[in-house]
Amino acid sequence: MEFETIAAHGFIDLQKQNHAVSAPIYANTAYSFDSVQHAIDLFDLKTGGDIYSRLSNPTNDIVEQRIAALEGGVGALTTSSGMSAALIAILNIAGAGDEIVSSAKIYGGTYNLFNKTFKQMGIKANLVNTDNIEDYEKVITEKTKCIYAESIGNPSIKIADMEELAKLAHKYGIPLIVDNTVPTPYLCRPFEFGADIVIHSTTKYLSGHGNAMGGIIVDSGKFDWEKSGKFPMLTEPDESYHGIIYTKEFKNAAYIAKTRAHLVRDLGCCQSPFNSYLTYLGLETLHVRMDRHCENALKLAQYLENHPHINFVKYPYLKSSSDYAAAQKYLKHGASSLLGFGVDGDGTKFIEALKLFIHATNLGDVRSIITYPAGTTHRQLSDEQLIAADISKDYMRASVGLENINDIIEDIDNAIKISRK
């Protein structure tokens, strides 16, 4: 099936659901066993099936299968949030004494996870301030376990050169992990450019209505975890499962199997079945929504680019953008709804004068949202870190919604006028 058909129909067995057309919400916590041996086999990972909804749930399972198919992966795991997806994706292969490499131009919450929490866990994050592949290579060491990137940076709007980052990662026997939240698999499929693991905050475009917190990790199934000898967590016996070796037992799905069997089991970062249901509903219209998001965002970016009181505009589908060539390569149908711009006026007045745009820190909603990163999502960063993240004090991040574009432009224009009084 093609993308749009998978989004609307994928992995629904009507007969198994009492012929219900929409997927049911399985609100239960536990599942009965056929026999004592059946229970033992489930707990020993010798057979598939549900044990407890912290580990798996039929509603979550449909979302996992559908998103894995949309991304082109072998399997997926839903989590409680996008942050928990980033946390688990890296903890699955890295521990105390290890290192990771990442761009500094990433979401503020992820920056803090890497720079603060991982440091407390004994994991060193080497954050690269430039877009040069050579600068990534300079900080790779024998302890490095992955390269991490955002396909479209939030809020920097920079497009990662995934193909070159993947080549670099594989040169050193490590995977490339890509946060694909902003473009979604409809606009970009990182596995096609060599990425090995993809994560999403499903809170954003995949659910699409600002009503369901969640995250997901998708495994490409293509990375050879045994070749480099750097990933004993996957290639050596797990004593908590009587010596099981994930790469031997689960083959190309070893990575995603371990995330569920080990980390969600122990950390409990599971997604609510109700939130999975809302995400499932959002997936059905993903392609339609993303087309309108892209259309509206490009029209707003073009308007702002020619506005006399806008200092700059960041949107990859603008021909004047330094990322335009990368956008044509990596983004199939558009550059998503996220754009950045600088207001030549009082930023506080500008935000508070908006009537249609909602002042919040979410993105990917059907409603337009404005965010001031230096005062919210990146508030914990120092002035030097803000510069490294490419966030100026006049920077505004807009997540352009599905409203009529004329109303969107009028709201922005009126707020600019008020900000200059």
> For residue 317, what are the β-bridge partners?
none
User: Cα–Cα distances in Å, from 321 out to 153, 169, 315, 340, 401?
Assistant: 14, 27, 7, 12, 22
SS3 category, 392: coil
Please check the confidence at residue 388 and state whether its pLDDT lies above 80. Answer: no
Tell me the two tokens of residue 47: 């057979």
Read off the pLDDT band of 414 (50, 70, 90).
very high
Please check the confidence at residue 110 and state whether its pLDDT lies above 90. Answer: yes
User: Cα–Cα distances in Å, from 173 out to 97, 135, 166, 178, 227?
Assistant: 18, 18, 10, 16, 8
End-to-end CA distance of the chain: 55
At 389 the pLDDT is 67
Please check the confidence at residue 417 and state whether its pLDDT lies above 80. Answer: yes
Please name the residue that has the structure tokens 């866990």: 121
SS3 category, 136: helix
Quote the Cα angle for 379-394-209, to 5°: 65
Read off the pLDDT band of 198 (50, 70, 90).
very high
Tell me the CB-side half-sphere exposure of residue 2, using CA atoms within 13 A: 2
- Segment 205-209 shows an average pLDDT of 97
pTM equals 0.95
Please check the confidence at residue 315 and state whether its pLDDT lies above 90. Answer: yes
Please name the residue that has the structure tokens 């990933």: 231
pLDDT digits 0-9 by tens, 132-184: 999 999 999 999 999 999 999 998 999 999 999 999 999 999 999 999 999 99
Domains of the chain: 9-282 (3.40.640.10), 287-419 (3.90.1150.10)
Contact 346, 309 (CB under 8 A): no
The Cα–Cα gap between 162 and 89 comes to 18
At 18 the pLDDT is 78
Cα dihedral 357/360/362/366 (nearest 10) = -30
The Cα–Cα gap between 155 and 338 comes to 8
SS3 category, 126: strand
Length of the chain: 421
Please check the confidence at residue 378 and state whether its pLDDT lies above 70. Answer: no
Contact 275, 309 (CB under 8 A): no
Contact 35, 187 (CB under 8 A): no
Contact 177, 165 (CB under 8 A): no
What is the percent of the chain with per-residue pLDDT over 90, rounded to a whole number?
86
At 10 the pLDDT is 79
Beta strands 144-150 and 176-179: pairing type?
Answer: parallel
Contact 31, 54 (CB under 8 A): no
Read off the pLDDT band of 348 (50, 70, 90).
confident
Please check the confidence at residue 102 and state whether its pLDDT lies above 90. Answer: yes
The Cα–Cα gap between 160 and 31 comes to 43
Tell me the two tokens of residue 384: 């030097």
The Cα–Cα gap between 303 and 305 comes to 5
Quote the Cα angle for 121-125-131, to 5°: 160
At 384 the pLDDT is 78
Classify residue 178 as left (phi > 0), alpha (psi -120 to 50) or beta: beta
> For residue 78, what are the β-bridge partners?
216
Mean pLDDT, the chain, rounded, equals 94
At 166 the pLDDT is 98
CA-derived radius of gyration, the chain: 22
The Cα–Cα gap between 10 and 273 comes to 18
The Cα–Cα gap between 129 and 85 comes to 24
Quote the Cα angle for 83-228-165, to 5°: 50
> For residue 179, what are the β-bridge partners?
150, 199
3-state helix, strand, coil in the chain (%, to 5): 45, 15, 45
Contact 339, 314 (CB under 8 A): yes
Q: Could you count the other beta carbons within 10 Å of the beta carbon of residue 116?
A: 11
167 or 20, higher pLDDT = 167
pLDDT digits 0-9 by tens, 215-271: 999 999 999 999 999 999 999 999 999 999 999 999 999 999 999 999 999 999 999
